[in-house]
Structure 1
Amino acid sequence: MAKMSVLVLGGTQFVGRHIVEALLAGGHRVSVLTRGRTPDELPGEVERLRGDRNEGEAGLGALAGRAWDACVDVSGYTPRQVRASAQTLQDRVGRYVFVSTVSVYAEQDRHPIREDDPLLPEAGEDVTQVTGETYGPLKVTCERLVAEVLGERATILRPQIVAGPHDPTGRYTSWIDRVAAGGDFLAPGDGSDFVQVIDARDLARFAVTVLEEGVPGVFNLAGPRLGWREFLDTVREATGSDATPVWVDAATLEAHGLGWNELPVYVPAQGEQGGVMDVSNERARAAGLTLEGPLTTARDTRAWSAGTAQKAFLTPEREAEVLRAVGRGR
């Protein structure tokens, strides 16, 4: 396999960091273009370039006169950003891999969600505010721009919720840490709903695969689909915890105003977004996606999170309040 020169747009945080590490592990040369505003713990052999796509092509002066075998875009959220990079790199890279999201799908109650399912209406190219409402539509527009500019040299990755070490969102990690803390803990639903994430390292290896093999197309990236009981059993095994789940039904959760903001990753299977936890990875697996497994993800996430301050979601006080309501608290 010939070694490549690869430009990563972003690259110092979470998904980008794992992609950089996977590229280096494959013996490839890596440059990253960032604004330089977040901590950088990348190896010294990575070339650092500075730029800001929010300024359009004017913010990409560091790329002038340069060319790479490929580009991986992990930080493109708005059409202004992505049009600038796609057009600037159109004749300077062989393949352009754009990291999108499963949030682009219009019908999130489908089971399963597949790559050819309908997408949300596009956001206007003048939209620059990324919110819960605009995030998916903006990514739809960005996908279209990359495909238009790069054609068959474009690859679109649509990851499920991404989990693993160095995750700044804390969504998946919050469950790992709560189980690790032990004791009775609130478990949403009745155990029959589902959890599905993609380990950032599995995503990263697949990104390298499509670069090395020149694979075009659109791919959902999702890991195994676990029932909540299996998920929590896996986490208990990974953390060595004897924590006891207390299942709290949907009506009680609603009565206490508990939803995604306090119970991240929990999506009722029969709800309007139930398909988000039933994303088909069949196409990606046929193209080379490999999965380390839920136990590895949980174990390695805890090894990292144990020494790293994490974002709080469900406070101990709120959890105790609900557990008391179902007769399992003081």
Structure 2
Amino acid sequence: MNRKSLFLLILTVIAFIVAYRLWGSDFDWSLFYSSLWNIQISWLMASIAATFLTYVCRAVRWQVLLDPVKPIRIKPLISANLVGFSAIFVLGRAGEVIRPLWVARREQTPLTASVATIVVERFLDTFMIIMFFGWSLLLVKPPAAADRTVKLMKDASWVMLIGSVAAMIFLFFFRANIHRIVRYVRLAKIASVMKNFSAGLSFLDRGSSFGLAIAHSLLLWIVISLSFWFMMLGMNFQFSIQAATLVMVGSAIGSIAQIPGIGGGFQAGWVFCMTTFFLIPPEKAIATSLVAWVASYVPTVVAGGLYMISQGLSLKDLRTAPVAD
């Protein structure tokens, strides 16, 4: 059995297990299979194009964050994002380290400083997810049965927002007081790491840079929302962009927890939103979640892999190349 057949078999087994556990003999397999093929390629291709555009948006934002550490051209950052997100999709959250490691080794930036910018990116993305969630709820009216779920999600959003704001305040404080803080650190190595991490937060010293990072984050998540909207149109869901954004938020939150190479969290978030907020039959929700996962993840993994092959690179090279930090 080749890898492609094995991959499809794994997806089918996962879908079967989930369907059996949740709905047993009531699961409509004919609707499931028909939903897998009820697609419009043109809209899915538009969604894939928008997905690749998000890596350009991420690269522009990252360039702003890294500029005080070391000015880097946009092209290497685009390839770093492409390879980095390919690693995340294949390795799970363990792949998060690839992006800063890639830039540190290929552009000779301090690794800890690069990690600091990734941390800030995650907080900015959290802000955007919460903001887009609130915007979508203002314009989309979920069914009455979902009121309790909406309330729980709102409460969770407030917790995430408060936590993110507190973390950003801490980063501002850490950056402004780094020289005082390291005085109390006895180990020189740890003090050096803390200084390099603080260097990655240098953009906080410039109000214009922080404002640009927020603006680029807003643009990024608009493009991500458009990608989801195009994807849903490609699966013949006549959803508004606000409804697609609500599904995007659920999928983004779900993707925090995923099985390397398979996902799981993304599909779970998708199915939850589709069945809870839009009363889509579970068979159709599960089938379209698999299509969405393939359309969102596979092109990135293929493009990232082809780029590394064309450059004669491997993940092993990242482990052996020298780091500036």
TM-score of the pair, normalised by structure 1: 0.26
**Larger helix proportion of the pair:** 2
TM-score of the pair, normalised by structure 2: 0.26
**Larger strand proportion of the pair:** 1
Q: Which has the higher contact order (CA 8 A, sep 6+)?
A: 2
